[in-house]
Structure 1
Amino acid sequence: MATETIDSEVGELLTELASLHDPKVRAINERHGDDHGVNLTQLRAVAKRLKTQQDLAVSLWATGDSAARLLALLICRPKAFTRGDLDAMLRDARVPKVHDWLVNYVVKKNPHADELRELWFADADPVVASAGWALTIERVAKRPEGLDLAVLLDVIAAQMKDAPDRSQWAMNHCLAQIGISHPKYRTRAVEIGERLEVLKDYPTPRDCTSPYAPTWIAEMVRRNNA
């Protein structure tokens, strides 16, 4: 697709996304640190119409607009990005929903995912580090071979209590996942959760599972054994 054509289409899509902006959706999203007001069902409908278009996705990402970036992540080819591309994109993705979709929809499907996990895991930037933890959670649940779960628990025990919010949430998820997926480490995972009390008082709707690791572990083990 010629550059002029892509630029024209990007402009048209930005106009379309602006027309889908809903102040009520924006207000809800802002509570979670997001800065767009497009209903995600409508956004997915636009992506379904466009289908996969890597060049267009790259151009949409370059606009810096959050709704455009979410659309880009839905129409891109995850395996087409280099390790350097994804590292740069992750470090530039400061909006929570964009960050989350980038990691889950793109990075996890890219052949450089584990290299990036190792690169990001101990990064000084807590937002970047949280992506490393998110990829580690994936490994803990699906491909634990090569991971030292005991060392992961040591790191969580030492750092989670005082970690920045994004990293703390990801560490807590990793703690719970270790306890859920690996019976050998379940008792220790629960002990760490009980001692640190991270998210113990997190407000949780009645029909949802608390993110407090001991409760989360117990509920998921119960369901898995039911």
Structure 2
Amino acid sequence: MTVTNGTVPEVMAELAALEDPRIRDVNVRHGDDHGVNLTKLRAVAKPLKIQQDLALDLWATGDTAARLVALLICRPKAFDRDQLDTMMREARTPKVQDWLVNYVVKKSPHAEELRVAWFDDADPAVASAGWELTTERVDKNPDGLDLPGLLDIIEAQMKTAPDRLQWSMNTCLAHIGIAHPEYRARALDIGERLEVLKDYPTPPNCTSPFAPSWITEMVRRQTRA
């Protein structure tokens, strides 16, 4: 059954029919609590198109798969600043947090205000969202950012940061090194000394998240392009 108009019970029933215990087991190991293949989940969302009211109702269920659908069918610019802040604090799982930042907050007129508010939040998951938004600015709109100051914070705090925040800080470090040649040597030095994610298991033909390897590989590709 493909739901096109959509009520919460209909969408929930469709998601329940797609639940796969094997996928749930894999997701649980990564901190997520749903068992729906994401390609199939996107197929549930596609015929619904944009339905802001339904998105709000699906989010309110608290169910991870339903919230992922909600983020695909919502209207990002319809949320006010406080709604987005509340949603980030309610988002319990990494995938919901990731999609909320990338599919909604980054498209919101409140993105910069939230970046500043979240950057040093006491909740490391919320702070990681602030760092993800900062990385977006590092790449696309660095004017006004204190890049040396960011490197100072990364150098002082990344080694002992909680996992999700550490990952976001490491991503910012790598992007500073890739996008800003004047800070590349320092970014490489910080990465080499801290050794964060140095031993992270990386499949063949994939780029390691270890910042020095990541920076070196991406710069090499830019040079060859």
Shorter-chain TM-score bucket reads: over 0.9
The alignment status of 1:219 with 2:217, answered yes or no, reads yes
Provide the C-alpha distance between the structure 1 equivalents of 2:44 and 2:160, rounded to a whole number of angstroms.
41
Residue from 206, 217, 224 that aligns with 1:208: 206
Compute the displacement of 1:192 (Å): 0.5
Counting only pairs closer than 5 Å after superposition, residues 43-122 of structure 1 correspond to structure 2 as 43-122=41-120
Partner residue, 1:166: 164
Identity, % of aligned pairs?
72
Provide the C-alpha distance between the structure 2 equivalents of 1:217 and 1:39, rounded to a whole number of angstroms.
32
Provide the C-alpha distance between the structure 2 equivalents of 1:203 and 1:167, rounded to a whole number of angstroms.
19
Provide the C-alpha distance between the structure 1 equivalents of 2:20 and 2:140, rounded to a whole number of angstroms.
38
Provide the C-alpha distance between the structure 2 equivalents of 1:20 and 1:157, rounded to a whole number of angstroms.
44
Secondary structure of the equivalent of 1:205? Answer: coil
Q: Please give the per-residue CA displacement for 1:199-222, whole angstroms capped at 9, x wherever unaligned.
A: 111111121111111110000000
Give the counterpart letter for 1:130 in structure 2. S
Partner residue, 1:12: 10
Provide the C-alpha distance between the structure 2 equivalents of 1:10 and 1:105, rounded to a whole number of angstroms.
21
The answer to whether the Cα contact below 8 Å between 2:14 and 2:44 also exists between their aligned partners in 1 is no
Q: Please give the per-residue CA displacement for 1:166-221, whole angstroms capped at 9, x wherever unaligned.
A: 11000000000000000000000000001111111111112111111111000000
**4+ long deviations beyond 6 Å:** none
Instruction: Report the count of equivalent residues.
Output: 220
Q: Please give the per-residue CA displacement for 1:32-74, whole angstroms capped at 9, x wherever unaligned.
A: 1110011111111111110000000000000000000000000
TM-score (norm 2): 0.96
Provide the C-alpha distance between the structure 2 equivalents of 1:191 and 1:40, rounded to a whole number of angstroms.
37
Give the counterpart letter for 2:90 in structure 1. D
Secondary structure of the equivalent of 2:41? Answer: helix
Provide the C-alpha distance between the structure 2 equivalents of 1:75 and 1:54, rounded to a whole number of angstroms.
7
What is the root-mean-square deviation in Å for CA atoms of aligned residues? Answer: 1.0
Provide the C-alpha distance between the structure 1 equivalents of 2:179 and 2:191, rounded to a whole number of angstroms.
16
Provide the C-alpha distance between the structure 1 equivalents of 2:18 and 2:66, rounded to a whole number of angstroms.
12
Partner residue, 2:32: 34
Provide the C-alpha distance between the structure 1 equivalents of 2:207 and 2:50, rounded to a whole number of angstroms.
36
The answer to whether the Cα contact below 8 Å between 2:64 and 2:96 also exists between their aligned partners in 1 is yes
Provide the C-alpha distance between the structure 1 equivalents of 2:37 and 2:115, rounded to a whole number of angstroms.
30
Compute the displacement of 1:23 (Å): 1.0
Partner residue, 1:3: none
Compute the displacement of 1:15 (Å): 1.1
Partner residue, 2:196: 198
Provide the C-alpha distance between the structure 2 equivalents of 1:40 and 1:199, rounded to a whole number of angstroms.
26
TM-score (norm 1): 0.96
Segments of structure 1 that go 5 or more residues without pairing to the other structure are: 1-5
